[in-house]
Structure 1
Amino acid sequence: MATDLAPDSSVPRPRLSRAQVRLTVGTVGLGTFIEWFEYASYAYLATTIAMVFFPNANPTTALLQTFGVFAISFLIRPIGGLFWGHFGDRIGPKRTLTLTIVGMGVATFTIGVLPTYATIGVAAPILLLVARMLQSFCASGEYSGAAVLLAEHAPLDKRARWVSTVPLATSAGFLGASVAATALNGLLSTEAMQEWGWRIPFLLAAVLTIVVRYIRSKVSDSPVRKKMEEEKSVATAPLVELIRDHWKSMLWMLFIMAVNASGYYLVLTYMVTYIEVELGLSAFQSSVILSLALILYLPLIFLGAWLSDTYGRRRLLLINAVGLILLSYPAFVLLGQSGFVGVLLIQISLVALFSLNDSTFAVYFIEAVPPQVRLSGFSIPFNFGNAIFGGTAPFIATWLISITDNSYAPAFLIMTLSAIGLIALIFQGDAYDPKAAKAAAAEEERAWNAAEQRSAGGN
């Protein structure tokens, strides 16, 4: 892929007031926060959910079954990616986000009121799986839709910083779920958690979804989308066009997703279970560790986005992939030899390294394809990659430990997935030129100022 600005760089943007910027960025980010709070709550309450829905199994088997539901629910992600990508390119990211948040709210409320295994037997985990699959289906359109909407509103030289709202809000959702799990595990007994405590995050998130749905209706479509509709250049068959003209980029981005998926679902999600089960810390301590790491992670995402806008996308992604390959095994060895403070510092180091990827990959994907197929071009590799490399990761990590009796096994999984992404990054170029983006943004500013002066002179 040649080094150049994104294909929609010539589309004129209206000058947005600070209030309009806050509305656009804030409402998109808030909706993303709620959706991923709902999604992450399942992982952070995995040990409790295992006892509620799989009580007849031994602890390891119950945990495998719980992560099995987590992994199986990801099978719907590719279908969701195809669906939301295709219709998102036809109806626009704003309408896509409206539909995804409604569906997510319904699925989350369903989980919160599900009867347990003790009440209805095997039907309980089956219903849990159905609700999780609906969550996955809707989540597959949320991330890509939010990222595209923000990218198409953003100044060219600040795109990564605007789009970083999405991973930042996603991570804040993970943090919120982790804090909720920490509070519940700290305040409630094990019996209370299994009886009713685990339901609280799901029911709370379902209520907040209604509020966010209303606020999101105030956000406008991007100037890129409006221009395509005016010129009648909206793709009628985006999937066909994407596969015909951009299949090679799609393939490389699918493999690049291996790094992001391993980071999210092993470093940011599975670690809370690993710290409790393999290292022997309490559920409360493991939740505190992950919550503190995520608090520091949030500003690191914005820092990574600034570096991306300043130095380019691919460079940061390469540094992250190489870093995970070199440092994952030593990190897991040190985890096994550390107490609470040591585990906390190692976890912070891992999430800091991963922030280079998480702050950059979304805008990197967005700029790889033209706007007519942008939602499909992001959504398909993102969701197929998450299904293949992400949703299965906690299950595979738990399974590898059980068959090898080696608590360092997850490190080898992270290293393998990072190596896959590294190879793809070597072959995939960078569509972003920092100097050209800065020059284009300056020219846009001059055009705005000139228009304002003409308007003032006419009055």
Structure 2
Amino acid sequence: MTRVGAASPASDTLAAPSARRAVLAGGIGNFIEWFDYGVYAALSPVIASLFFPGGNSVAATLSTFAVFGVGFVVRPLGGLFFGQLGDRRGRRTALGLALILISLSTACMGLLPTFASAGVAAPLLLLLLRLIQGFSAGGEFTGSATMMVENAQTGRRGWISSWQQFSVITGTLAGVLIVTAITDLGSSDLLESWGWRIPFLVALPLGAVGFYIRFRMEDTPHFEALRSTGDVAEKPTREAVRTQRRAMVIAFFYTALPNIGFYTFLTYTPTFLRNEAGLSLGKAYLVNVVGTVLYALFTLVVGRLSDRFGRRPILITHAVAFFVSAIPIYLLLSSGSFLVALVVQLPAMLIMSCYSGPGTAGITELFPTRLRYSAMALPYNLSSAIFGGTAPFIATALIAWLGTPIAPAFWAMLAAIPTFVVYVRMRETAFSELQDR
């Protein structure tokens, strides 16, 4: 038996094909999950008019993002459920169930009646499906991160796990692209009559493919090594709270700023550019698409660099640069110039990639295999609920309250402080073997 605190022998025998399969199997669920988030955020003006009609556009937008945020409220519950399942029965089992729930709930959103035909039942059904999506998402991100990192060799974990963030970003991009295509090829009437349903329905065939891929995948070598010696935790969440408390607190603040950045700089951008900069919806989507493409490419490059230079220096750069540049970036985005909004995507997405590149590897490496899924799922999903799910709502509310388009920058700058402290104080994990116990 491997001694307590030691790396597993499996860490020296991982093959490149295993890592590639893990990238595909882990990434497909993330893609679908954030495809839905991208679609929902991009369609927020349409959803506001179809499900929350009224004379006040700000109130309708707030209602739309409130429902968006509600999905995050149940994510910690999903994290508890799927974390327990993943640490006791295996990563593959937990991720397969999460994928089924995500795919079905997203597809059902495309079948919903609108307020005009069903009255108050329409937003209530929308709320219910967002709750199901949030619950399943509670196990998806942390499970896929665990699968990728546990299949990667030391010295390549940053690179391999950056593909997880890549799948998140490209899922969001695909959601925005399909909405953009429907907007450009059709008309606003087409989009509001039935065109908005198409992106949600696409999740069903994607989910079927993803389910097939995941269940052809073996569990991770690190988990199988634990299972073969009978060292799988019986009550992983309880054990994690008792033995991994410091790492869990670090994980909570670790993702505070990145969550705000992702859900304001990316998913909220089309709404911001339309409402605050006065750009047309088509131009707002185009700016978002360019930014997302840059973000995806930068993420892979920075992920590989983190294997060479470490996670901490790049993460610290992320927090500092975000704090310094948040106000200038929002000022430029709200200038009303399409060209300026387009150009500012370059520095904004480079700063964001300083988290998305090393971020997944860094948070996953904090925990031992025996408790990794559960110990990471609870703080990560709590942080996502508090900082990520509320970000578009808080951004809209702050702008209305303070009367300035740069108001969301203040919230991001505030979150940058504890995140920076965590990055400075955390240990460097890039060059060490994964710990199994």
Distance 2:182 2:413 in 1: 34
1:86 corresponds in structure 2 to: 84
Query: In structure 1, the residue corresponding to 2:255 is in which secondary structure?
Result: helix
Are 2:338 and 1:334 aligned?
A: no
Within a 5 Å distance, the mapping from 1:411-450 to structure 2 comes to 411-433=409-431
Q: Write the deviation string for residues 318-343 of structure 1: whole angstroms up to 9, x where unpaired.
A: 11000000001111122233511110
Check conservation: 2:232, 2:370, Cα contact below 8 A.
Answer: yes
Structure 2 alignment gaps of length 5 or more: none
Residue 77 of structure 1 deviates from its aligned partner by: 0.9
2:216 corresponds in structure 1 to: 218
2:118 corresponds in structure 1 to: 120
Distance 1:73 1:276 in 2: 24
Match of 2:320 among 319, 322, 331: 322
CA RMSD of aligned residues (A): 1.7
2:372 corresponds in structure 1 to: 374
Structure 1 alignment gaps of length 5 or more: 1-5, 441-459
Check conservation: 1:366, 1:377, Cα contact below 8 A.
Answer: no
Q: What letter corresponds to residue 351 of structure 2 in structure 1?
A: L
Distance 2:279 2:380 in 1: 34
1:452 corresponds in structure 2 to: none
2:311 corresponds in structure 1 to: 313
Match of 2:359 among 361, 366, 386: 361
Within a 5 Å distance, the mapping from 1:155-234 to structure 2 comes to 155-234=153-232
Match of 1:29 among 24, 27, 30: 27
Within a 5 Å distance, the mapping from 1:142-153 to structure 2 comes to 142-153=140-151
Residue 192 of structure 1 deviates from its aligned partner by: 1.6
Change in 2 beyond 3 A, CA 1:410/1:15: closer
2:390 corresponds in structure 1 to: 392
Q: What letter corresponds to residue 347 of structure 1 in structure 2?
A: Q
1:445 corresponds in structure 2 to: none
Check conservation: 2:19, 2:148, Cα contact below 8 A.
Answer: no
Residue 270 of structure 1 deviates from its aligned partner by: 0.9
Query: In structure 2, the residue corresponding to 1:378 is in which secondary structure?
Result: helix
Residue 24 of structure 1 deviates from its aligned partner by: 3.1
Runs of 4+ aligned residues of structure 1 deviating over 4 Å after TM superposition are: none
1:109 corresponds in structure 2 to: 107
Check conservation: 1:43, 1:269, Cα contact below 8 A.
Answer: yes
Query: In structure 1, the residue corresponding to 2:244 is in which secondary structure?
Result: helix
Residue 21 of structure 1 deviates from its aligned partner by: 4.4
2:133 corresponds in structure 1 to: 135
Higher CA-based Rg: 1
Check conservation: 1:262, 1:418, Cα contact below 8 A.
Answer: no
1:286 corresponds in structure 2 to: 284
Q: Write the deviation string for residues 266-294 of structure 1: whole angstroms up to 9, x where unpaired.
A: 11111121011100001111111111111
Query: In structure 2, the residue corresponding to 1:209 is in which secondary structure?
Result: helix
| Number of residue-to-residue matches in the alignment | 430
Between 1:207-216 and 1:400-409, the stretch displaced more is 207-216
Residue 402 of structure 1 deviates from its aligned partner by: 0.7
Q: What letter corresponds to residue 136 of structure 1 in structure 2?
A: G
Distance 1:414 1:176 in 2: 26
Q: Write the deviation string for residues 152-172 of structure 1: whole angstroms up to 9, x where unpaired.
A: 111111011111111000100
Query: In structure 2, the residue corresponding to 1:11 is in which secondary structure?
Result: helix
Q: What letter corresponds to residue 187 of structure 1 in structure 2?
A: L
Percent identity of equivalent pairs: 35
Q: Write the deviation string for residues 150-198 of structure 1: whole angstroms up to 9, x where unpaired.
A: 1111111101111111100010001101111111121222222111111
Q: TM-score of the superposition, structure 1-length normalised?
A: 0.90
Distance 1:15 1:207 in 2: 31
Check conservation: 1:13, 1:223, Cα contact below 8 A.
Answer: no
Change in 2 beyond 3 A, CA 1:7/1:415: farther
